[in-house]
Chains A and B, each alone.
Chain A
Amino acid sequence: DTGVSQDPRHKITKRGQNVTFRCDPISEHNRLYWYRQTLGQGPEFLTYFQNEAQLEKSRLLSDRFSAERPKGSFSTLEIQRTEQGDSAMYLCASSNRLSSSYEQYFGPGTRLTVT
């Protein structure tokens, strides 16, 4: 068990460019969550998957954001036409729905800076 991993750890992009982040959950975990954390705030829920199905999206997730989890394994979060307001830490977490503990295990995050 190597934990949740995210790639890249840091991304600097210019406004208007597209970016894609990857999250690899703990292998036996069937749920995967994306959160966004801005400076001085707690993480805010964006979306989550159970296996390959995206079951809920937050209103924070504008049309420029899209997330996928093909085959119920890793997930990608893409932001199109980035804006300066997208600058944040993007956190991924996974959990095992079959477990009664409801614990979410977080990755180290991807810090996005839009210039």
Chain B
Amino acid sequence: AQSVTQPDIHITVSEGASLELRCNYSYGATPYLFWYVQSPGQGLQLLLKYFSGDTLVQGIKGFEAEFKRSQSSFNLRKPSVHWSDAAEYFCAVAESNFGNEKLTFGTGTRLTIIP
């Protein structure tokens, strides 16, 4: 069965600083990978996804992520964070077996932005 590890429970960065959130996955086949963001009281919003092709994917709100098969990683990056980026971030992998795209999520990384 697939699994996702987000090793950082909580990260604090200064506004304007760069950000990298780590994600490692375990899945036998080619994974479908996602990053979601969850703000308090809000549902999960998709930031970006990777299925195939270019390993560097661009998403909304200035985020990008790079798929590295050799490291089983899909880290999320942003060159300059804004106070509005404070939220919980979840990495997820889709099980594509028989066309069921149920998602397996990591435990999340809470991002705090300091002025």
Contact = CB atoms under 8 A, between A and B. Distances in A.
Interface of A: 4, 31, 33, 35, 40-45, 48, 55-56, 91, 93, 95, 97, 101-109
A43 B90 contact: yes
B44 A91 contact: yes
Nearest to B42: A108
Contacts of B36: 106
Given A33-B102, A95-B101, A109-B43, A102 B32 contact: yes
Contact of A102 (B4, B45, B94, B104): B94
Interface of B: 4, 32, 36, 41-46, 49, 51, 90, 92, 94, 96, 99-108
A105 B43 CA distance: 9
A42 B43 contact: no
Contact of B99 (A35, A40, A45, A97): A97
A5 B41 CA distance: 13
Contacts of A108: 41-43
Contacts of A106: 36, 43-45
A43 B4 CA distance: 12
Nearest to A5: B43
Nearest to B88: A42
Nearest to B99: A97
**Which of A31, A33, A43 has most chain B Cβ within 10 Å?**
A43
14 contacts: A33-B102, A33-B103, A40-B108, A41-B108, A44-B105, A45-B102, A45-B103, A45-B104, A56-B102, A91-B43, A91-B44, A97-B99, A104-B103, A106-B45
A43 B49 contact: no
Contact of B105 (A43, A105, A107, A109): A43
Nearest to A3: B43
Nearest to B95: A45
A33 B43 CA distance: 14
